[in-house]
Copies of this chain bind each other. A is one copy, B any other.
Amino acid sequence: MQLPLEIDADAPLSLQTQLIGQISTSITTGRLKPGSRLPGTRALSEQLGVSRNTVLLAYGGLAAEGYVETREGAGTFVSAAAPEQHQFVPQAMPQAARTAPRSTTQSAAAPKYNFELESIDPDLFPGNVWRRLMMRRMQSSRFNLTQQGDPKGSRRLRDVLCRFLGATRGMTVDAEQIVIVTSIQQALNVVAQMLVRPGTKVITETPGCSLIAPLYQRYGADIMPVPVDHDGLMVEHLPECRHGVAVVTPARQFPLGATMPAARRQALLDWAVETDAHVFEVDFDSDFRYEGSPQPAMQAMDRAGRFIYAGSFAMTIGPGLRIGYLVLPPDLVERAIEATVLLDYAYPCQGQGVPWLEQAVLTDFIESGGYDKHLRRLRRAYLERRDHLAATLAQHFADLDLLGMSSGTHVIWRMPNRLAGALECEARARAAGIAVYTLKFKTISGAESLPGWDRYLLLGFAALKVPAIGAAINRLARSLQ
């Protein structure tokens, strides 16, 4: 550790005194914290261009005054309780800002049952398999954190993604069309960098994800919200504009859970071709299909090179694995790479911003069939939870109307008019120790654009086990009726 000390040979104070003064000041002002190890005397004498004896005498002086202590064979350390030592509070940091809890969710008592949205069950994380794959990769002589490679990301990972997307999403893609990113949100940034200029029309779903419009507005976008109904984006409301960018969730609309029917998909495609627009399909959570077959991605019907697709592993492995991907028309690949460089330059790494080790392990996991097995296990568990949630709710509410049942990890309950509004119900449930959500949730925007939005209650079922779901719904029903 090199300390920022300056010794002036021409100053009236002796070198040793200057050194004691500067180090003790660093300690009393909190820059050198208790327990910190001071540099070795040889290293510090070289750094300052003074004799080693000067440093030894200074350290001795500091020790005599109690600022530091020498541990035999280990070095010199700042004392646990140095003279005048105080818990330093930076001047500029108001006390309130330092102690106030950040989020209101954290400050409220944690609910006993949380039907959390966008959540997954950590107990279903394939810890042992993952550990084994990580360890094997780390044993490799190639393992270090300086790997060079293709800026699009690991070639092997892009190859297995081609297979996976071909089989499960009906997409015919070449590995050269894939760019590895950290997350869907980073993919949104890449698309902003590539396609959004001041005045670009960006079509967003409303209600929809709240993290899209403010991002694109920073790039000067002109946001054009298009309403969604129970079949997804209402394509008849697509604006007449040229070179727009439509950000859509046809596989499973966020937050209403609709899968877009074929006729609307075709209309969206026609609109894109007619207006020279790009359609950006964002696939947040369509990995689990409980009823019928998954729909092919819209990219599968693209002949004009107008479609971009983004997916990630946040809902299947965990958001702590920072790996997602973009599938691009060939003419956008170079611009996407330039965008990832501006967003998270990592010279000379493969895949800007995505760790090499995790890419290698994920590839092994998919290639070995482990990911497929994991998806089946998740689907079974989530299907059981979804069914139990619906069955228990139906016991209490005969006229139950649930949306978004066919996939994903949350259901949308359109509540009967005899119950209070959703916001009121959310508050009553919270008072009973149960967290449920409304269309006013922080990652959802545009609730008001949906007629009767205050009748929709959102319940995530991924993070709760079956017995907890039953108990929670019973308690919820009591609190609402």
Instruction: Please report A residues at the B interface, Cβ cutoff 8 Å.
Output: 1-6, 26, 29-33, 36-37, 43, 47-49, 88-94, 97-98, 102, 116, 118-120, 122, 125, 127, 130-131, 134-135, 138-139, 143-147, 150-151, 162-164, 166-174, 176-177, 182-186, 189, 192-193, 198, 211, 214-215, 218-220, 289, 292-296, 300, 302-303, 305, 314, 317-322, 329-331, 333, 337, 341-349, 353-358, 369, 372, 375-376, 379, 443
Contact = CB atoms under 8 A, between A and B. Distances in A.
Given A47-B289, A145-B318, A183-B345, A31 B172 contact: yes
A47 to B, nearest CB: 6
Contacts of A314: 346
Contacts of A174: 89-90, 93, 98
Given A36-B163, A214-B342, 14 more contacts: A1-B375, A32-B167, A47-B292, A48-B292, A91-B303, A92-B330, A98-B174, A131-B139, A183-B353, A185-B342, A198-B198, A319-B347, A322-B322, A322-B346
A195 to B, nearest CB: 11
Contacts of A183: 344-346, 353
A134 B125 contact: no
A211 B341 contact: yes
Contact of A305 (B3, B92, B182, B330): B92
A92 B171 CA distance: 13
Copy total for this chain: 2
Given A26-B170, A174-B98, A193-B218, A343 B138 contact: no
6 contacts: A102-B150, A125-B146, A127-B144, A146-B319, A189-B189, A322-B346
Contacts of A186: 343-344, 353
Nearest to A92: B305
A23 to B, nearest CB: 10
A369 B162 CA distance: 44
Instruction: Determine the main DSSP class of A at the interface with B.
Output: loop
A145 B4 contact: no
A188 to B, nearest CB: 8
Which of A32, A88, A300, A343 has the most chain B CB atoms closer than 10 A to its own CB? A343
A114 to B, nearest CB: 11
Contacts of A345: 183-185, 211, 443
Nearest to A131: B138
Contacts of A4: 168-170, 293-296
Contact of A90 (B6, B47, B172, B443): B172
Contact of A329 (B92, B162, B296): B92
A373 B186 CA distance: 35
Contacts of A1: 164, 167-168, 372, 375
A320 B144 contact: yes
Contact of A219 (B182, B218, B356, B379): B218
Contacts of A305: 92
